[in-house]
Structure 1
Amino acid sequence: MFEKKGVRFLVTSILIFTLIYLIHKTRFIFEPVGAYLGAIAVPIIGAGVIFYITNPVVNWLEKKKVPRLIGTFIAFLLLVVVITLVVLFVAPIVQQQFANLYESIPKMVKSAEQLIEIWQDNQNIIPPQFEGTIQNIIDNLSTYAEAVTTGIIGVIGQIFSFVFAFFLIPFFLFFMLKDGHKFVPFISQFLSPAKASSFRQLAISINHTLASFIQGQFIVSVCVGVMLYIGYIIIGLEYSLSLALFAVVMNFIPFLGPFLSAIPAVIVGLFQDPLIGVWAAVVMFIAQQIESNFISPNVMGRALSLHPLTVITLILAAGGIAGFLGLLFIIPAYAVIKTIIGHFYQQWKKKQPEEDPDLI
C-alpha cells in the first residue's frame, strides 16, 4: 500500500515538474498574455478591493427591496461623497504636513549628527571597534537619510502609480457591483452538475476569504488610524494626520505593519521633544493592544487561519520580490491559493476509496 501511494505521488510530482519545465521553455507564448494581465491588473485589483468594501452596502439595499442597479448608483454616490470630502479637507492638510516634514529632514539629520558627536566627546574610553562604527554612522548619516527619503518617495510613487489607473477602476467596479453575482451561475451552466456544485463551493470559499480579509482589515486599519490620530493630537505630535494615515496604509500589512508605522512617528516625536517620542511609542502600543485584543478578534476573528511565522515569511519574500505592493497583496493572494488547494484536495479525497483516503 505504501509503495503504491509512493509511486503515485512520485509520478504526480514528475508530471507537475515536467509541466513547469515545459511552461518555462515556452514562456514566450505566455508573454503577451502576461503583458495584457499586467496592464489590467491595477484597475481590476483596485476595483476588487473597493468592491468588497462597498458590496455589503449594495447587498443590504437589495435586501431592502432596492433594485441592484439603483443600489450600485447609491454606492457610487457614497464613494464620490467620501472622495470629495477627502480631497477638500484631508488632502491639503496632508500635502502641507508632508512638505513640512520633507523640508525638516536636513535639520533632523544635523541634530542627529550633533547628538552623536556630543555623546562621543563625553566618552572617556571607547573601544576602537565602537569608535569606528560610530564614525561610520556619522559619515554616512546623510546617505541613510537620503535612502529613507528615497524609499518613502518610492512608496508614494507606487501609490500614485496605482491612483493613476483610478480612471479605469470605476468602470470595473460598476460591473462588479451590478453583475458580480451573475458570474458563478454563468460559469456553472457550462459544467456538469457535480463540477458546477464544486465550483460554487469554491467560489463561496474564495469570496469568504477575500471578504474576511479586505473588509476586516479595512475596518481594523481605520479604527487604528483614528485612535492614533486622537492620541497624536493629545500628546501634541507634529504631522499627526499624515502619520496616522501612514499607519492606516501600513496596517494593511499583517503583523509587521503596526511596527513599521510606529517608526516614523517615534522618530518625529524624538526630534520634536524626546518626551513626545516616548509618548508616541506609548500611544502606538496602546492602540495596538486595543486593536489586537478587542477590535481584530471581533472584526476578523481567525478567518484566514494563518500562522504568524507563515505571515512573516510571506511578507519578507513578497517585499524582496515585489516591493510595497507585494507586501499589501501577498497575504490575501496566499489565502486564496490555500483555499483553492484545500478545496481540490478535499474533492480528491472524496473520490478515493474509504480505506485509502490519504495522499501519501
Structure 2
Amino acid sequence: MTHKTWFQFGIGIILLLVIIRMFREVQDIFYPLMIVIETVFLPILLAGVLFYLTRPMVNWLDGKRFPKWSSILIVFALLFGVFWMLSTIIGPLVNEQMTKLIKNTPRMFHAAEEGISYIMNQRERLPESAMQAIEEALNKIQAMAMSFGTWLINFIQSLLQATISIVLVPFFLFYMLKDREKFTPFITQFFTGNRKEWVQKTLGDLDNTLKSYIQGQLFVSFLIGVMLFIGYLVIRLDYALLLALFGMATNVIPFLGPYLAVAPALLVAWAQDPQLVIYVSIIMLVAQQIESNLISPNVMGKALDIHPLTVITVILTAGNLAGIWGVILAIPAYAVIKTIVVNLYDMRREIKQAATKNV
C-alpha cells in the first residue's frame, strides 16, 4: 500500500500540514526572517516582471555581439526613457484628472443615491417579484461597492509601498539580467543523472510559464487600456485617460479585473449622463470579447491552460487568504505549482514505464 500514489500523496499533504502547524507555533523565531522577506518581496517582484519584459531585448543585443554590460546599460537607458516620457507626458494629465475626480466624487455618489432612490420610489408600480429582484441586486451592488472600496484602499497603499521600495528594483533587475544564465546550472549542480535532467526540464518549463503569463498578461492589459481609452474618448466620458489606466491596471487580475475596471467608469457615466452607462457597458463588453476571443488565445496561447472555474476558485481563495497580493499572484502561483505537478507526474510515469519494460 505504501507504493500507491494516493497513499504517498496523502502522506505528503499530512506532512505539509504538520510543517505549517509547527511553523505557526514557532513563528516568533522566524520574525526577523519574515521582516527581511517582506522588505525585499515587492522589489524582487517588480524586478522579476521587468526581467521578463527586458530579457528579449538583452538576448537580442547579445546576439548582435554587444558586451553583456553594454546590453544591460542600453536596456536600463531605454527603461529610463520610457518612464521619463510617461511621467512627463501622461503624468500631468493623470494628476489633473485625479484632482478633478476627487473633487467631484461627492457629486457622483449623490447622483448614484438619487438613482437608487428613484428606483425605490417606483416599487409600488412594479410586481413584487421584480421588486425583490431589484432589492437583491441593490444589496449585492452595495456589498460589492464596500468590497471594492476596501480593495481600492489596499491597492493605493500597495502602490505607495511600491514607490518607497522602487529604489531597490534597479539593483535586483541588474543582477537578474547579468546572472540570468547562471541560475539553472547553480540549481542543477546538486543533482545527477535523470534527476538533473528532470530539474533542468522543470526549470525550463517554469521559465516558459512565467514568461508567457507576464509578457502576455501585460500586453493584453495594455491593449485593453488602449481600447477603453479610445471608446471613452468617442463617447466623451470624463476622466477617460484615468479610467482607461485603471482598467489597464485591474486587467492583470484574471476574470475579476474587468468587473473592477468598469465599476468606477459606470459611476462616472451615471453622474455625467445616465445614458452613458449603456455606452460604457457596451465598450467594456466589446473590449472583453475582443480580448477573450482574439487577443489572449493568440498572445498567451495554451501555456497556462487553466479552466475559468479554477481561476475563479483560486482567486477568491487567495484573496481571502492574502488580500490584494493574493488576488494578483494567485494565477501565476497556481500555474507554477501546476507545472511542477505535471512534471512530477510525467517523471513518475516514465519510471513506471521503464520498470515495466525491464520486467
TM class, shorter-length: 0.7 to 0.9
Letter in 1 for 2:221: S
Identity %: 40
Which residue in 2 is equivalent to 1:277?
277
1:99-121 deviation per Cα after TM superposition (whole angstroms, max 9, x unaligned): 21122121122223333444444
Residue 180 of structure 1 aligns to a residue whose secondary structure is coil
Q: Confirm or deny that 1:62 pairs with 2:73.
A: no
- The CA distance in 2 between the partners of 1:16 and 1:110, in whole Å, is 51
- The CA distance in 2 between the partners of 1:5 and 1:121, in whole Å, is 63
Listed as ranges, the gaps of 5+ residues in structure 2 are none
Residue pair 1:109, 1:142 contacting (<8 A) in 2 also: no
- The CA distance in 1 between the partners of 2:108 and 2:98, in whole Å, is 15
1:205-260 deviation per Cα after TM superposition (whole angstroms, max 9, x unaligned): 11001000000001111011111111111110111111111111111111121222
Residue pair 1:236, 1:276 contacting (<8 A) in 2 also: no
Which residue in 1 is equivalent to 2:162?
162
Which residue in 2 is equivalent to 1:104?
104
CA apart distance, 1:157: 1.8
CA apart distance, 1:307: 1.0
Q: How does 1:320-335 map to 2 (within 5 A)?
A: 320-335=320-335
How many corresponding residue pairs? Answer: 355
Q: Which moved more, 1:299-308 or 1:98-107?
A: 98-107
Residue 231 of structure 2 aligns to a residue whose secondary structure is helix
Q: Which moved more, 1:180-189 or 1:50-59?
A: 180-189
* TM-score normalised by length of structure 1: 0.87
1:319-360 deviation per Cα after TM superposition (whole angstroms, max 9, x unaligned): 222222221111111111221222233333333465779xxx
Which residue in 2 is equivalent to 1:52?
52
Residue 180 of structure 2 aligns to a residue whose secondary structure is helix
Q: Report the CA distance shift for 1:353/1:10 in structure 2 as closer, same or farther (over 3 A).
A: farther
Residue pair 2:54, 2:75 contacting (<8 A) in 1 also: yes
- The CA distance in 1 between the partners of 2:60 and 2:125, in whole Å, is 70
- The CA distance in 2 between the partners of 1:189 and 1:93, in whole Å, is 52
Letter in 2 for 1:341: V
- The CA distance in 1 between the partners of 2:164 and 2:221, in whole Å, is 23
1:61-99 deviation per Cα after TM superposition (whole angstroms, max 9, x unaligned): 112222222111111111101100111111221122122
- The CA distance in 1 between the partners of 2:42 and 2:92, in whole Å, is 26
Which residue in 2 is equivalent to 1:232?
232
* TM-score normalised by length of structure 2: 0.87
Listed as ranges, the gaps of 5+ residues in structure 1 are none
Letter in 2 for 1:189: Q
Letter in 2 for 1:344: L
1:244-294 deviation per Cα after TM superposition (whole angstroms, max 9, x unaligned): 111111111111212221221122112211222211111111111111122
Which residue in 2 is equivalent to 1:219?
219
Residue pair 1:42, 1:162 contacting (<8 A) in 2 also: yes
Residue pair 1:221, 1:249 contacting (<8 A) in 2 also: yes
Which residue in 2 is equivalent to 1:338?
338
Q: Report the CA distance shift for 1:187/1:309 in structure 2 as closer, same or farther (over 3 A).
A: same
Q: Which moved more, 1:43-52 or 1:345-354?
A: 345-354
Q: Report the CA distance shift for 1:194/1:130 in structure 2 as closer, same or farther (over 3 A).
A: closer
Which residue in 1 is equivalent to 2:267?
267
Residue pair 2:319, 2:326 contacting (<8 A) in 1 also: yes
Residue 168 of structure 1 aligns to a residue whose secondary structure is helix
- The CA distance in 2 between the partners of 1:13 and 1:257, in whole Å, is 32
- What's the C-alpha RMSD, in Å, of the aligned pairs? 3.3
1:152-195 deviation per Cα after TM superposition (whole angstroms, max 9, x unaligned): 33322211212221100000001101111111123333432433
- The CA distance in 2 between the partners of 1:258 and 1:337, in whole Å, is 26
Q: Which moved more, 1:62-71 or 1:27-36?
A: 27-36
Q: How does 1:110-189 map to 2 (within 5 A)?
A: 110-121=110-121, 124=124, 149=149, 151-189=151-189
Q: Report the CA distance shift for 1:16/1:259 in structure 2 as closer, same or farther (over 3 A).
A: closer
